[in-house]
Structure 1
């Protein structure tokens, strides 16, 4: 079967990230559609013919997209969508329906617990691929190609004779090494892609694992099975990217790259031994790092580690079921900086237990630890999370709350002691506490003096930080 994969256009000219662990509007980054590239390689393995339109990456608007689609022949279309751009993304299905009878298949991790709502509101979406797309997408396309039924295919919801049928959840692939190298050849160019600023290109993201066994109440990936590619499979993909595309920078997009220390040690040692000369970034938890590992990571080309700190208040951390201590977070930030790496930290304002005192604790934590960079978000009660259940129980949101309003930049949920307006004010305070802090500027200027190759990136990041601070 001929299958068309689509990463929909940018939302009002602003880039969108449509990956499981990160489904957000993101004006400062343009990422390759890695999950669609993985699906493409899996479909090719089954003998299907695949094409890709990365409208977001190539900055193709809907009129141009429709012109492209109107002249194409395909038997199914698969696209990704996210809550914040739901109606916008669904235009992909509507346009396809105008020119083809091909089934429209949508993927969104965040709304997997709101399946019937999604299909009721998206009349041109035929099939919702809810979870484990690596296992489900190939089997789904095989069945559509053969004209077989879908009633026993786990991981999807679909329309049948006027009814919405929701099948059981799918099981993940047993062996993630069975996933072929993503179909990078479908990308027109790597020049479109960057994270935060255009620096270190060619750039790509890469999953070496997926899932997180931790139980943080706000996270859409909480309590999901950790599924990893072996060190050997990761290195195979790194070599492919280096040899065929001269990739210079990679963002490992795992929830926590360092969950398995031995795997990381094998990957980093091979990068060193083979002189792959790749700069890379990763996400981790503060309790999954140590000095020896950080030194090995730096030797292997790691430039920065991203960590979710969330709050400088132990009270808030405990209620969020984060299972770390504030002091452990502070120690980890210092440890990463002492290793000569940059450390980017994310914080969330408005979690249960938040009040002005806990906000002040977080602001003081930011001033005390001075991470290299910071991302300051607002607690968002995504469907399927424990936070969503708590917010409903306490009346902070209603059952009729519109998922389209759920993004991390604007509060839709109060706490017991703070209003939405006060939560948004706390976020502004955090931007000022870091980005207008003379000590932060001195620290980062010092880093650039020691690492002059970072001047371009640091300059662009600094300008962006100032814009954010003064905009708030």
Structure 2
């Protein structure tokens, strides 16, 4: 009986990598993230069925380095040795393969990878001396590849040139055998969001969504979605639970709930089986309905990884963003998941091509506002073969050719709007903000953490909007105003053709609980064509009222003009249709009296006037569900 050795190449002691992640191209790993090599376990089952004796060595959970794996294989003759290769560990993996070839001249040595970019495969073959690279879905064809009958889905060097043979995706995933888990150290696998021991299942392959611009899943698995039947998944679960005693399950599908009826049927089968499982999956917000969420929770779902990518809604809706996701949908999912006891893990990317520094503020704010249990933040990585990689090469964005940097958390490129340093800082800002939230969860309410969160947010805004210069100018103006003994507070009101409501607003400022000498009001008329200016000229107020007449350039330009003219140490912006309550200015002055930093700000609550009829639409725009600009219900 011929023997075949399958080796999940050592990485933990060199450059830790989780080989099955990032679509199988490889992702930064750790001792707390060690998952079973499903591809090798499936190939082992097929080889056994074809009459081969199979040895499978998964080096990392066993704590083996290169030399220890070599030692395990020494003294045995093999027809073939297959060893895994990932992109971030390509050079080290190639050296390991070269060592295998030197020690086993009798064997055909194959590299197993899902990298398919020809120049990368050529580099691998030259550095490893491997006879062949298996790059396709070889789980059903591996026996015939070993015997030389089939070369589809492989690449090799011939007369010094690369020969690449395309493979075909497995059309019927129900035809896959059950993985040979008896060859794996099942008690040593760990996933940080579930614990240990954990088993992984991949019940579907392929992803049809346009985020394939940067995502490796459609690159590796194709855009056509293929799925196992719920009954086939149940059979594998039965093997995992009843034969191997594992009840923590991580479904590794790119979009587990793409077919919601299939997911619901599987949940029903799990409940009928009576297993008490804890499982997680990865999916999209727009592939989850309330009814399915309830069925998932009842079947043991304790967490979901959802692709969010960015908090910048404009970027989110680009073709290479996360089309189909909206912030209200995300808010609804967050609320329902919390009610059902399902943890949410947001998958985020810093550096999508349309993102700017302000996008990073949006992403940080989204994390703070929707409070995921955990996040997975990566930096944009132009995986070879993706459209992003082609564009990045064409535009000269790629700045690192060292594959060790391509694990998902290192910065290997710049974008049109963000430098490498910008991307590194963006990651630190978002990670740092969540770390403070997690600290507050652990330690409870304290005076220190809110201060740290405010300081962190100020630093983010200062970086994103280049506020260092603005800050210096504000400090200079504050010193000048203090020396001139001007009023403590200036109210700036831009107005355009709103004569009547503006007058009502100004009269309300006459009834404030603070003395008129404590504030001034600057109205910037933005080129009104009604008689606003005549009304203002005739109006008499107990406080200092100044009117600046400007050409029509919009409210932002009017506010800037008001800032330039302000005599107060504190500037308060309000609208010409916002009637202030009697203690409005007193509350602002009291806040700033206790918060002396020049970057502290206070946002006030705004309610509909009792004088107007509030329509359902008006109610909606100030509610958490509809309130993006006017979400005062959360203030």
Equivalent of 2:29, from 26, 31, 41?
26
- 1:387-466 alignment to 2 at 5 Å? 387-397=388-398, 401-437=401-437, 441=441
Q: How far, CA to CA, are the matches of 1:364 and 1:392 in structure 2?
A: 32
- The Cα offsets for residues 204-228 of structure 1, whole Å up to 9 and x where unpaired, read as 1111111111121111112532221
**2-structure distance, mates of 1:25, 1:358:** 25
Once residues 263 and 197 of structure 1 are traced to their aligned partners in structure 2, the CA distance between those partners, rounded to angstroms, is 25
Tell me if 1:138 matches 2:143: yes
2:368 paired residue number: 367
Contact 2:199 2:240 in 1 (8 A): no
- 1:249-268 matches, within 5 Å, as 249-268=248-267
Q: Does 1:212 align with 2:207?
A: yes
Confirm or deny: 8 A CA contact 1:434 1:440 kept in the other structure: no
Give CA deviations for 1:10-47 in whole Å, capped at 9, x if unaligned. Answer: 24366421116241121131111111101111122222
Asked if the contact 2:310/2:316 (under 8 Å) is kept, the reply is yes
Shift of the 378–121 alpha-carbon distance from structure 1 to 2, 3 Å rule, reads farther
- 1:224 aligns with 223
Contact 1:126/1:158, CA 8 A, preserved across alignment:
yes
Per the alignment, in what secondary structure is the counterpart of residue 82 of structure 2? strand
**For the aligned residues, what is the CA RMSD?**
2.3
Measure how far apart 1:111 and its partner are.
4.3
Question: In the alignment, is residue 182 of structure 1 matched against residue 179 of structure 2?
Answer: yes
Q: How does 1:236-255 map to 2 (within 5 A)?
A: 236-255=235-254
Aligned partners of 1:154 and 1:91: how far apart in 2? 25
Q: Give 2:359's aligned residue.
A: 358
Q: Aligned equivalents of 1:416 and 1:205: distance in 2?
A: 38
Does the C-alpha gap of structure 1 residues 6 and 120 become closer, same or farther in structure 2, counting only changes over 3 Å?
Answer: closer
Aligned to 1:45: 49
Q: Provide, for residues 395-440 of structure 1, a one-character-per-residue CA deviation record: whole Å limited to 9, x for no partner.
A: 2127x93444322111111112211111111111111221212696
**Are 2:118 and 2:164, in contact at CA under 8 Å, matched by a contact in 1?**
no
Task: Tell me the distance in 2 between the aligned counterparts of 1:74 and 1:370.
Answer: 53
- TM-score by length of structure 2 reads 0.65
Note if contact 1:15-1:29 (Cα within 8 Å) is conserved in structure 2.
Answer: no
Cα deviation for residue 313 of structure 1 reads 0.7
Matched position secondary structure for 2:217: coil
Distance in 2, matches of 1:418 and 1:401, equals 19
Shift of 1:380: 0.4
Superposition deviation, residue 266 in structure 1: 1.5
2:88 is matched with which residue: 72, 84, 88?
A: 84
How much has 1:115 moved relative to structure 2? 4.7
Change (3 A) 1:376 1:197: closer
**Cα drift, residue 99 of structure 1:** 1.7
Determine the structure 2 residue equivalent to 1:105: 110
The answer to whether the Cα contact below 8 Å between 2:100 and 2:109 also exists between their aligned partners in 1 is: yes
Q: Normalising by structure 1, what TM-score?
A: 0.86
SS in 2 for 1:396: coil
Match of 2:349? Answer: 348
SS at match of 1:221: helix
CA shift for structure 1 position 318: 3.2
Q: CA deviation at 1:113?
A: 4.8
Could you say which structure has the greater relative contact order, defined with CA pairs below 8 angstroms and 6 or more residues apart? 1
Which whole-Å CA distance do the structure 2 matches of 1:50 and 1:112 have between them?
30
Question: Structure 2: which 5+ runs fail to align?
Answer: 446-635
Q: Secondary structure at the match of 1:343?
A: strand
71, 75, 78: which one aligns with 1:74 = 78
Aligned partners of 1:88 and 1:3: how far apart in 2? 22
In structure 2, which of residues 55, 62, 67 is the aligned counterpart of residue 63 of structure 1? 67
Are 2:155 and 1:157 aligned? yes
1:6 — aligned with what? 7
Partner of 1:274: 273
Q: Is the CA contact 1:84–1:404 (under 8 Å) kept in the aligned structure 2?
A: yes
Given that 1:130 and 1:156 are in contact with CA atoms closer than 8 Å, whether structure 2 keeps it comes out as yes
Which has the higher Rg, Structure 1 or Structure 2? 2
Task: Find the aligned partners of 2:154 and 2:271 in 1 and give their Cα distance.
Answer: 42
